[in-house]
């Protein structure tokens, strides 16, 4: 970066809310954080489908894998993939918030997201397709390995119901943890503080 005049730097520092960082430095840091969130998303988008595809191919080609093992592995992998997806949704929210901050500082026209069949496909939509396709592949795996199609439908239905029940339980536990995050760290009331209610002084 080129050296700015002293009077310009002083006025910029006085105009900033914190009196410290320059707007250009703040904008550069925001762009760095956006690239960091995108880098994490791209790595997971490559890791989750590739590992899942390799594991599914191994189970399909294995002659020793029984129904119980395939059911356990596929249900576990589907729940783990759902966890990655839920974490990625938070990552998408952070990225969008950072982009809005950057757009507020840089008023140039932003490019439109790519489209598919006249529908905009952004970061969230692409990740939704990849993660839910991976989850669906894991859930139908026990049914695909069945010898009869009726047995396969029943196994797939049972697998989906078990996945939904586990996902609902995990979401309830997460919601309860978010609802009262401070109660675990608050000491119980003892002695006079617990017995005497707070009153206003006259």
- Mean pLDDT of the 77-86 span: 91
- 199 occurs within a structural domain: no
- 156 occurs within a structural domain: yes
**Residues ≥6 apart with Cβ < 8 Å to 133:** 49
pLDDT above 70 for 15: no
Structural domain count, the chain: 1
Task: State the residue range of the domain holding 76.
Answer: 17-109+119-183
pLDDT above 50 for 73: yes
- 201 occurs within a structural domain: no
- Mean pLDDT of the 152-156 span: 82
Helix H, strand E, coil C: the string for the chain is CCCCCHHHHHHHHHHCCCCCCCHHHHHHHHHHHHHHHHHHHHHHHHHHHHHHHHHHHHHHHCCCCCHHHHHHHHHHHHHHHHHHHHHHHHHHHHHHHHHHHHHHHCCCCCCCCCEECCEECCHHHHHHHHHHHHHHHHHHHHHHCCCCHHHHHHHHHHHHHHHHHHHHHHHHHHHHHHHCCCCCCCCCCCCHHHHCCCCCCC
Residue 2: its pLDDT value, please? 44
Nearest C-alpha neighbor of 89 from the set 56, 52, 131, 61: 131
Residue 76: its pLDDT value, please? 93
Q: Which residues pair with 120 in a beta bridge?
A: 115
- 7 occurs within a structural domain: no
- Mean pLDDT of the 76-81 span: 92
Name the token pair of 84: 């990655």
Predicted confidence (pLDDT) per residue in 120-130, tens digit:
677 788 888 89
The percent of residues above 70 in pLDDT, for the chain, comes to 70
The predicted model scores a pTM of 0.65
How far is residue 197's CA from residue 109's CA, in Å, rounded to a whole number? Answer: 59
Which is higher by pLDDT, 177 or 156? 156
- 2 occurs within a structural domain: no
- The number of CA neighbours under 13 Å toward the Cβ of 182 is 1
What is the rounded average pLDDT for all residues in the chain?
Answer: 74
Residue 167: its pLDDT value, please? 84
- 194 occurs within a structural domain: no
- 46 occurs within a structural domain: yes
- 166 occurs within a structural domain: yes
Which is higher by pLDDT, 111 or 33? 33
């Amino acid at each position: 970066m080129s050296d700015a005049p002293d009077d310009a730097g002083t006025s910029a520092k006085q105009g900033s809310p914190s009196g410290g960082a320059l707007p250009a430095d703040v904008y550069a840091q925001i762009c760095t954080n956006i690239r960091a969130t995108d880098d994490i998303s791209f790595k997971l988008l490559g890791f989750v489908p590739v590992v899942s595809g390799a594991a599914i191919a191994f189970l399909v080609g294995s002659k020793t894998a029984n129904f119980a093992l395939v059911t356990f592995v596929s249900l576990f992998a589907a729940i783990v993939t759902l966890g990655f997806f839920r974490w990625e949704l938070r990552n998408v929210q952070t990225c969008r918030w950072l982009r809005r901050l950057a757009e507020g500082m840089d008023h140039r026209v932003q490019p439109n997201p790519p489209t598919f069949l006249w529908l905009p496909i952004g970061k969230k939509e692409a990740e939704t397709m990849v993660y839910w396709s991976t989850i669906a592949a894991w859930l139908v795996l026990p049914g695909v390995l069945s010898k009869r199609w009726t047995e396969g439908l029943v196994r797939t239905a049972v697998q989906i119901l078990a996945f939904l029940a586990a996902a609902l339980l995990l979401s309830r536990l997460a919601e309860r943890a978010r609802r009262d995050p401070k109660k675990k760290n608050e000491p119980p009331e003892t002695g006079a503080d617990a017995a005497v209610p707070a009153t206003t002084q006259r």
